[in-house]
Amino acid sequence: MTQSQQVSADPAPLRTPAYYQAQLDEKRERLCGLFADFTLPALEVHASPAEHYRMRAEFRIWHDGDDLYHCMYAPATKEIIRVDQFPTASRLINQLMPVLLEGLRPHPVLRRKLFQIDYLSTQSGQICVSLLYHRKLESEWLQAAEALQADLRAKGFELQLIGRAHKQKICLGEEFVIERLTVQGRELVYKQVENSFTQPNAAINEQMLGWALDVTKGSEGDLLELYCGNGNFSIALAQNFRKVLATEIAKPSVDSAQFNIAANGVDNLIILRMSAEEFTMAMRGEREFNRLKGVDLGAYQCNTIFVDPPRAGLDDATVKLVQDYDNILYISCNPETLQANMQVLGDTHEIARFALFDQFPWTHHMEAGVYLKRKAG
């Protein structure tokens, strides 16, 4: 960014309760319309807090002489918008933003070629901050960054500071935070690693976990989960099943999941570092994997499968695999690909529960959940 680019005030939209309800009603109508060809139960709508709901935030940094600001690019015009407060983000992020800038301003070694700041906050009060640079970080930077972290901690922030540059990652403390969620009156503990996937809306995450527990209550047999991430769902759902087998490909997520299994005292859950496609091949006997040595797939009586795929949805082979299970719990961050997958799954299964989760208020995006049961006969 250059000094010639314009900086303008943050144009906060009119976020009234009535406007929030109107955008939620529009999503309800759009989701029901998308699935109009299916026999549907009543849609269960889970509202988000209207403000301070997003636990992560990323800002570009605008430099003006010796001063600097958080900023964003306007999507349509690419105009630079100065951001002093960001109601979308958690209160903890908003509390830290001005204090962090105050700590950066007096130190050229911390400001120089700083182009982005990433925040990862929690409901537990812990927060991780990543400072991203277009230059190599030397010992002088480390000394100043350690002093900044100590100062912020002295001000009451339970903070982990990380510096990032090309092929560099310097962690001044831990590279993770510990989140604590309350689900149906039970506290669940999750390790969340910087720069790894975490659920962005903690309040909606608690509602999704509660809904998943409710729809699988009284289940018999075992659960298979694909795309388990840090164990967000599988750890919560383990109480409803005899055994749980889960897969995840990303190593940081698998490591977090193993930590979270131990932290929550779960003893009936195994995580396999495999992609959904690889596991599909293993289940069909098409290929053997060293990572499955010592795991007796035949010992699992999985009649329920849980999937929370990326926006692209399930590939054709995984859809066929999923169809083999009597009960399917499907959380989707893209209802359009869920609807496409349902064109196949609907041949063998019916929708028993149907939910909308307002994961991203004030945007077009929404999260959907369906619980499918095999059709009789």
Give 132's contacts (C-beta < 8 A, 6+ positions apart): 114, 115, 116, 117, 118, 164, 165
Single out the catalytic residue among 71, 128, 228, 333.
Answer: 333
Helix 335-345 to helix 17-34 angle (10° resolution) is 30
Which position has the token pair 């999937």?
307
Q: Residue 32 catalytic?
A: no
Q: Residue 333 catalytic?
A: yes
Which position has the token pair 């007796």?
296
Largest CA distance in the chain: 73
Q: Give the end-to-end CA distance of the chain in Å, rounded to a whole number.
A: 64
Find, among 248, 330, 318, the residue nearest to 283 by Cα: 318
Give the HSE-up count for residue 332: Cα atoms under 13 Å, Cβ half-sphere.
Answer: 22
- Backbone phi and psi for residue 124, each to the nearest 5 degrees, phi listed first: -75, -15
- Other CB atoms within a 10 A radius of the CB of residue 47 amount to 15
How far apart are the C-alpha atoms of 87 and 163, rounded to whole Å? 26
Single out the catalytic residue among 51, 179, 194, 367.
Answer: 367
Active site residues: 333, 367
